[in-house]
Structure 1
Amino acid sequence: MSIEVFSPDGIGEVTAGTDLAALCAPYVADGDVVVITSKVVSKAEGRVVAVDREDAIRAETVRLVARRGPTSIVENHLGLVMAAAGIDASNVEPGKLVLLPLDPDASARRIREDLAASTGYDVAVLISDTAGRAWRHGQTDIAVGAAGLEPMVSFDGSTDSYGNPLAVTAPAVADEITGIAEVVSGKLGGRPVTVVRGLADRVLPRGQHGPGARSLVREVGTDMFGLGSREAVTAALAGRDRTAFGAPALVGDLVAALTECGFAVTELDGRLEVAAPATDVRLGALLFAFGWAPAPGSNADTSTSLAPLS
């Protein structure tokens, strides 16, 4: 198998109202995957503003995930967890900021439909943006909008060549494609459109757009890193942002954490008992973070019976 990836020169400056499908049409063929940077989509949709950067970040933020000095990692209105809510000040006039598209999946669907109408070709459209990754230096492009292909392919139930079951293998195909597209387009070459040819088997039939890139966003509470390390401590002590900690922990995990923190734990008649009052601040923070609480009717003055939150 082989693919061809190219990013044409001469696209020119994109402004509010630019017809992105017409801009892409000369370069595509049936079965292509077209990758368009979110910046030009935002420019075409009039998402360029001249406001204070911090005010813009606050307006686009749903939830603060972590902050270190001037850098804020937040969840934005699209559910994406990104530095500065995905707001960008590069490749735009000084004093201006580019916000992410209001609905990148809808933008991808519209461009795909417009391309089909003007060329007769069935292509997939991805809208890309640059993001950092936990545990690794540097950034790579990811898909923030998608139409015409399945963004993720699950291999659950399959087996490898040795007969081993594949339980958690699910390549994020849309992210993989936008990543290779960015290698070709670059950051400074003025090439916001990339065509990936040779993946026609992944392109859905016309009229079937797929679930969109939003389906790649991990739900709050299922993400083991829903808060930064400092922010998790603060949230537990303050008793807020419970959703970010996920489902109640298993008994063994809770016991291990309590023991590590110096609490004596016993199991009595199927219930956990901790030799500490319910008013103990450290105990309260641990229980909050692990999704447990003092059981109703427990003797909270000297010891506390525990029960998982429903």
Structure 2
Amino acid sequence: MEIKIIGIKGIPLIKTGDNLSQLILKAAELQDLQLDNEDILVIAETAVAKAEGNLIHLENVKPSPNAIEIAEVTGKDAKLVEAIINESNEIIKVGPDFIISETKHGFVCANAGIDESNVDDGLATPIPLDPDNSAQLIREKLEKTTGKSVAVIISDTQGRAFREGAIGTAIGISGMLPTWDRCGELDLYDRELKTTSIAVADELSSAASMVMGQANEGIPVVIIRGVSYFKKLRNEYANIKPLIRPKKYDVFRE
């Protein structure tokens, strides 16, 4: 199997109200790229948040006493801390320079997924309000325009428990299942797999992140081509929920 990871260059800085699907297709055309059936597009959540106008104006945020207290522990700006609290269901752990929380979507990550990079000073981008819906709208527009069958993943850069560094992580999906249950298949020694579920949406997001970069690369959209299991996982009603571990199975949270 051969997989191609193709960064779409030339997409301008996103503004509120921009039509992402049109910008993607226009930039791809200038790059002499056309979407193919079974392409998977991975889109940075910051681009989606900016297009949807989902921005936090930090100067308008009034820190609560709780935010001020947490800011003193973490060294973070109290207004940013208040924004993190507002975007969270629960603050799980606080320490020097970090706040781990459960977002309103159910993701457990640092700083409620709020990002201050690649936006103007004084602004921050939270995770899109409904990443699955965002992915669906973009996918449907792309498919309608091109006539191709594709999938769309909204990705975010997140850290991992017990590991240093950050990787691309899927927070929204449309057009394919986010996990691949391989239970019942045989390994190389003809033993039946019992509990093997592959987080393919996260694997694809991480692969795309190698091309997207995290600084001034200016590549918020990546095409992944040649994924052999696309047809097996094709699903127009898929969402990201299968990737979220229910709290009752979270053995590390008190």
| TM-score, scaled to structure 2 | 0.85
Contact 2:41 2:150 in 1 (8 A): yes
| Counterpart selection for 1:194 from 203, 213, 222 | 222
Matches of 2:231 and 2:8, distance apart in 1 = 21
Q: Output the amino acid matched with 1:2.
A: E
The CA deviation at 1:163 is 2.3
Matches of 1:109 and 1:158, distance apart in 2 = 31
The CA deviation at 1:10 is 1.0
Matches of 2:201 and 2:20, distance apart in 1 = 20
CA displacement 1:198-227 (0-9 Å, x = unmatched):
126415798x424311220000011112x2
- Structure 1 pair 75/205, CA: closer, same or farther in 2 (3 Å)? closer
- Bigger CA drift: 49-58 or 19-28? 19-28
Determine whether 1:149 maps to 2:172: no
| Counterpart selection for 1:31 from 27, 31, 38 | 38
List runs of 5+ in structure 2 lacking aligned partners: 59-78
- Corresponding residue for 1:184? 211
What is the DSSP-based 3-state SS (H/G/I as helix, E as strand, rest coil) of the residue aligned with 1:67? strand
Matches of 2:191 and 2:232, distance apart in 1 = 30
- Corresponding residue for 2:68? none
CA displacement 1:219-251 (0-9 Å, x = unmatched):
0011112x2xxxx3xxxxxxxxxxxxxxxxxxx
- Corresponding residue for 2:52? 45
Matches of 1:217 and 1:209, distance apart in 2 = 19
Contact 1:144 1:214 in 2 (8 A): no
Matches of 2:228 and 2:18, distance apart in 1 = 27
Contact 2:8 2:24 in 1 (8 A): no
Q: Output the amino acid matched with 1:12.
A: P
Q: How many residues align?
A: 226
Matches for 1:199-218 after TM superposition, within 5 Å: 199=227, 201-203=229-231, 208-218=235-245
Q: Output the amino acid matched with 1:174.
A: A
| Counterpart selection for 1:104 from 124, 131, 140 | 131
Q: Output the amino acid matched with 1:38.
A: E
- Structure 1 pair 200/121, CA: closer, same or farther in 2 (3 Å)? farther
- Corresponding residue for 1:19? 19
Matches of 1:146 and 1:204, distance apart in 2 = 16
The CA deviation at 1:158 is 2.2
Contact 2:135 2:174 in 1 (8 A): yes
Determine whether 1:80 maps to 2:80: no
Matches of 1:165 and 1:205, distance apart in 2 = 21
Q: Output the amino acid matched with 1:5.
A: I
What is the DSSP-based 3-state SS (H/G/I as helix, E as strand, rest coil) of the residue aligned with 1:211? coil
The CA deviation at 1:132 is 0.6
Matches of 2:143 and 2:84, distance apart in 1 = 36
Matches of 1:32 and 1:211, distance apart in 2 = 16
Contact 1:3 1:196 in 2 (8 A): yes
What is the DSSP-based 3-state SS (H/G/I as helix, E as strand, rest coil) of the residue aligned with 1:42? helix
Structure of greater Rg: 1
Contact 1:147 1:210 in 2 (8 A): yes
Matches of 1:9 and 1:21, distance apart in 2 = 14
- Structure 1 pair 49/204, CA: closer, same or farther in 2 (3 Å)? farther
The CA deviation at 1:166 is 1.4
- Corresponding residue for 2:192? 165
Identity of aligned residues (%): 37
Contact 1:181 1:194 in 2 (8 A): yes
- Corresponding residue for 1:254? none
Contact 2:17 2:52 in 1 (8 A): yes
The CA deviation at 1:20 is 0.9
Instruction: Between the two structures, name the one with larger relative contact order (CA 8 Å, sep ≥ 6).
Output: 2
- Structure 1 pair 195/87, CA: closer, same or farther in 2 (3 Å)? same
